[in-house]
Each structure stands twice: as C-alpha cells, then as structure tokens.
C-alpha cells in the first residue's frame, strides 16, 4: 500500500471513527451514519492537514465518495 493510500484510509477511519475494513471503494457519503455532514467536515479537515492542502468549496461539496475523493485529490497533485 502506498504511503498516500494508507494516509487517505487512515483519515477516513480516524475522522469518521469507523473500522478500516469498511474504508474501501464502496464507501459513499451519507450511506453510513458516521459519514454525515459533520463527519464530512471532520474528514475534510483531516485530509487538508495530512496532505497540507486546502480544498476549494466546490471540491468539499463534490467529495461524495471514497473514489471521488481520490479523483479530487489529483487536482491538488496528491496521487493515491
């Protein structure tokens, strides 16, 4: 597992307080109780801090799934 991938997964499991086993490409916003709007903002803050980036507001809104997040991070030159 690449460093960035493990950081990415860790951000999800820590900020949403979920098991690392369910952090995978099937994970989508609002499909589990933990990834609600509050969890989302905590996740965004965690990713910003770990990758030293600052998301555009549109990207915060578009970040709708584990997979979409990987795509968005490419804009910030973060390859997962």
Partner 1 sequence: MLLKNKTALLTGCNRGIGKEILKIFANNKSNLVCCVRQADEAFSNLINQLKIENNIKIDVYYIDFEKEKNIKEIASDIIKNHQINILVNNIGYLENSLFQMTTSQNLKKHFDVNFFSQFEFTQYIIKSMIKIKNGSIIFISSSASLDGNIGRSSYSSSKSAINALSKVLSRELGRYNIRVNTIAPGLADTDMMRNTTDEKVLNDIVKNLSLKRIADPAEIANVVLFLASDLSSYLTGQLIRVDGGI
Binding site for partner 1 (CB under 8 A): 38, 41, 45, 48-49, 54, 57
Minimum Å gap between C-beta 22 and partner 1 is 23
**Which of 48/67 has CB closer to partner 1?**
48
Q: By C-alpha distance, which of 4, 28, 32, 8 is closest to 18?
A: 32
Q: By C-alpha distance, which of 11, 2, 1, 9 is closest to 52?
A: 11
Distances (CA, A) of 7 to 33, 58, 74: 22, 23, 15
**Which of 13/48 has CB closer to partner 1?**
48
Minimum Å gap between C-beta 39 and partner 1 is 11
Minimum Å gap between C-beta 75 and partner 1 is 14
């Amino acid at each position: 597992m690449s460093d960035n991938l493990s950081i990415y997964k860790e951000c999800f499991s820590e900020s949403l307080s979920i098991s690392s086993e369910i952090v995978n490409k099937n994970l989508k916003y609002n499909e589990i109780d933990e990834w609600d709007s509050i969890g989302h903002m905590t996740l965004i803050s965690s990713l910003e801090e770990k990758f030293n980036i600052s998301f555009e507001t549109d990207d915060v809104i578009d970040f709708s799934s584990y997979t979409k997040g990987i795509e968005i991070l490419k804009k910030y030159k973060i390859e997962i």
